[in-house]
Chains A and B, each alone.
Chain A
Amino acid sequence: MHLLLAAGFTFTGLIQQVVSGAGAGAVYATLALALVLIYRAMDVANFAQGEMAMFSTYIAYALVGGDFGLLGTKLGFNGLHLGLPQAFWIAFAIAVVASFGLGILIERVLIRPFEGAPLLTLVIVTLGLFSIVNGLAGFNWGYVFKTFCCPFPQSAVNAGGVSFNYTDLGIIAVTVVILVAMAVFFRYTKLGLAMRAASLYPESSRLVGVRTSWMLALGWGLSAAVGAVSGILVAPVVFLDPNMMQSVLLFAFAAAVLGGIESPVGAVVGALLIGILLALVGTYIPGGENLRTPFALLIIVVVLLLRPAGLLGRPETRRV
């Protein structure tokens, strides 16, 4: 307790941290959801998920500011940019759609040849993809930090001594919209139902005519699109650079593990918890900023040892 007091503990300060932690958690939630989508479909964690989101963010950044990097210089389309007031949101939409397409493309070209390969192979392939995407972004845009600002007003509302800044609120709002859209898609549409069935019961699904291989590609597309949202939302907070998503990916992994890696709802709950916990660790433990990553490691290990199915996951029965 004296540690907390030393760090200047106040109740409103705590609430403040919880709110901004939830904002960060919302970002982890979208990326964790992207991870869960692919995990459910092919039992592998996509280590390139964060890098794909990072690349999507560069696409949005390029559309808003006109900086197409080396490619732009070479092809001379640096003049092209959306100089509109709603530029951010238009770029957001285009980047998400483009990511969907890229996700499908990646699955068809890089993942499909390895369908059914041993786990180690799939892990290596996604790590290869990690390197490729990271290298591409670095090659094209360089490794200097870029500012990509600001979809939401840079101010805050005050309520009961706690100030809620619009960035956190905005991120939470966008995340909620995405989550609801995903829930509706998977629950109430025929395609969503087929995607769920294809990932859980590939054999039965094929026997009723579902092209499961295409469902997997769609899953990658959807996952890339959802991941893109997390990247674009977090970029204004952490600055844009090719390595920006590495720790976000780790926190999303921790969230997915905590919530239950096969459970979309679990991923979201886990992400909010992780976001809040990390905000508290960062604030109230001396040197906590550096300890966030090892803290995530600790969560992953402890959860896997004590409750491998996570908070909301079902204990494994499906695989042998």
Chain B
Amino acid sequence: MRRDYLNWAIGAVGLALLLVIPNVTDQFQTFMFAQVAAYAVAVVGLNILTGYSGQISLGNGAFMAIGSYTTALLTARAGWPYLVTIPVGGLLAGLVGLLVGIPALRLRGIYLALATFALALSVTPVLNNYDKLTGGHLGVGFKAVTPPFDIPLSNEQWLYFLGWIIFFLVFVPAWLLLRGRTGRAWMAIRDSETAAAANGVGLAYYKTLAFGISAFYAGVAGSLLVIDFAYVNPDSYSLNLSLQLLVAMVIGGLANIWGPLFGALLVVWLPYMAEKAVNSKPDLAFGALLIVVVFLAPNGIAGLLRRGLLVLRGRRREAGQITGALEATPAEADQIAT
């Protein structure tokens, strides 16, 4: 029972922290934490696709762009209330994700990585090309959002709460999905497609589903991000964005449900700190962190914390036995050593 208390305690502290942050940080910091929520949603989506179902996607930024432009265009041009555009952006991205997922079924491993890499690089030029719709280089802007019903919150605080409410709205279903049958099916596919198929897991169904759901999360995240800035332009959807999602997923903790939170914190705050500390872009730090994490802590920050907690509870043995999707199993390692 001690274990349950500890989990509840961590949950309570986390929730308290979330409520306290917007009251003790300045406007800029609150705004940054609002963005963390959006990135966290996107990384949950990528984690489902790559971390759990094992399909390498370097192109989830493309699905984010769909959510972003849906929200921006519907709000700015059609006068829709921005809140309504969030599910629309998510669903539209999800639909495209399903469609992308079908040909992706036939691209295994590295080929899928290649194709999604090409997808990531294609977003900006495509957005620039169809400038009648997207506004081209100039982008699309709309009136900054303000708290509804005269709630006594600053704009940033409203964005913050909006972001985190949406985060929990989409996080809980993801959590349930991953704990259940679907999550098990995805992991089975990731670990061995042959074995999964032999056990009656429908590969096509689950793999396409992962694409669709992942893209839905990316779309919602894209919507949220645009609502934060009340502006979008094609340059935000360069390869860099997709790489940041990957960095966040890996460093936060691959195939760990809590990993996206840590990863999103990192990719939002590190660029700012790199700018402040050494007046430089964060790529160097991201790249170095990525390799160090893969080498020393393949389960990311969340994995390290989990290990720490297990040690705290005096279950060292279990702590030593955590293996992740990035490591070869002992049997494989032996084969490789030959």
Which residues on A are within 8 Å of B, measured CB to CB?
43-45, 47, 110, 113-121, 123-125, 127-136, 138-139, 143, 203, 246-247, 250, 253-254, 257, 287, 290-294, 296-297, 300-301, 304-305, 308
For B95, list chain A residues within 8 Å (CB): none
**Contacts A125-B294, A127-B290, A203-B338; A287 near B283 (Cβ below 8 A):** no
**Contacts A128-B290, A300-B118; A136 near B126 (Cβ below 8 A):** no
For A43, list chain B residues within 8 Å (CB): 110
- Pick 13 A–B contacts, CB within 8 A, sort by A: A47-B117, A117-B326, A118-B326, A120-B54, A121-B326, A124-B294, A125-B291, A128-B289, A132-B291, A134-B287, A138-B284, A297-B119, A308-B111
Q: Tell me, in angstroms, the Cα distance from A134 to B338 when the chains sit together.
A: 35
Is A123 a contact of B56 with CB atoms below 8 Å?
yes
Q: Tell me, in angstroms, the Cα distance from A114 to B243 when the chains sit together.
A: 20
For B115, list chain A residues within 8 Å (CB): 297, 300-301, 304
Determine whether B11 belongs to the interface, using a CB cutoff of 8 Å to chain A: no
Query: A135's contact among B114, B239, B281, by CB below 8 Å, is which?
Result: B281
Determine whether B327 belongs to the interface, using a CB cutoff of 8 Å to chain A: yes
Tell me the nearest residue of chain A to B336, going by C-beta: A116
Determine whether B328 belongs to the interface, using a CB cutoff of 8 Å to chain A: yes
Is B284 a contact of A135 with CB atoms below 8 Å?
yes
Kindly identify, within residues 247 to 286 of chain B, every residue whose CB is under 8 Å from any CB belonging to chain A: 247, 250, 254, 278, 280-286
Q: By DSSP majority rule, is chain A's interface helix, strand, loop, or mixed?
A: helix
For A116, list chain B residues within 8 Å (CB): 328, 332-333, 336-337
Query: A117's contact among B56, B106, B328, B338, by CB below 8 Å, is which?
Result: B328
Tell me the nearest residue of chain B to A133, going by C-beta: B287
Chain B, 209-231, contact with A by CB distance < 8 Å: what is the 0/1 string?
00000000000000000000000
Q: Tell me, in angstroms, the Cα distance from A205 to B324 when the chains sit together.
A: 31
Q: Tell me, in angstroms, the Cα distance from A136 to B285 when the chains sit together.
A: 10
Query: B110's contact among A119, A127, A247, A292, by CB below 8 Å, is which?
Result: A119
Q: Tell me, in angstroms, the Cα distance from A114 to B282 when the chains sit together.
A: 24
Q: By DSSP majority rule, is chain B's interface helix, strand, loop, or mixed?
A: helix
Q: Tell me, in angstroms, the Cα distance from A292 to B128 when the chains sit together.
A: 12
Tell me the nearest residue of chain B to A288, going by C-beta: B129
Is A44 a contact of B110 with CB atoms below 8 Å?
yes
Is B118 a contact of A115 with CB atoms below 8 Å?
no
**Contacts A135-B286, A139-B284; A250 near B117 (Cβ below 8 A):** yes
Tell me the nearest residue of chain A to B127, going by C-beta: A290
**Contacts A139-B280, A300-B114; A127 near B121 (Cβ below 8 A):** no
For B336, list chain A residues within 8 Å (CB): 115-116
Is A113 a contact of B103 with CB atoms below 8 Å?
no
For A294, list chain B residues within 8 Å (CB): 122, 125-126
For A115, list chain B residues within 8 Å (CB): 336
Q: Tell me, in angstroms, the Cα distance from A294 to B107 when the chains sit together.
A: 18
Is B106 a contact of A304 with CB atoms below 8 Å?
yes
For B289, list chain A residues within 8 Å (CB): 128
Closest 6 CB pairs of A and B: A131-B287, A135-B284, A116-B336, A135-B283, A132-B287, A128-B290
Distance (whole angstroms) from the CB of A4 to the closest CB of chain B: 19
Is B294 a contact of A123 with CB atoms below 8 Å?
no
For B128, list chain A residues within 8 Å (CB): 290
Determine whether B310 belongs to the interface, using a CB cutoff of 8 Å to chain A: no
Q: Tell me, in angstroms, the Cα distance from A246 to B128 when the chains sit together.
A: 17
For A118, list chain B residues within 8 Å (CB): 325-328
Tell me the nearest residue of chain B to A121, going by C-beta: B326
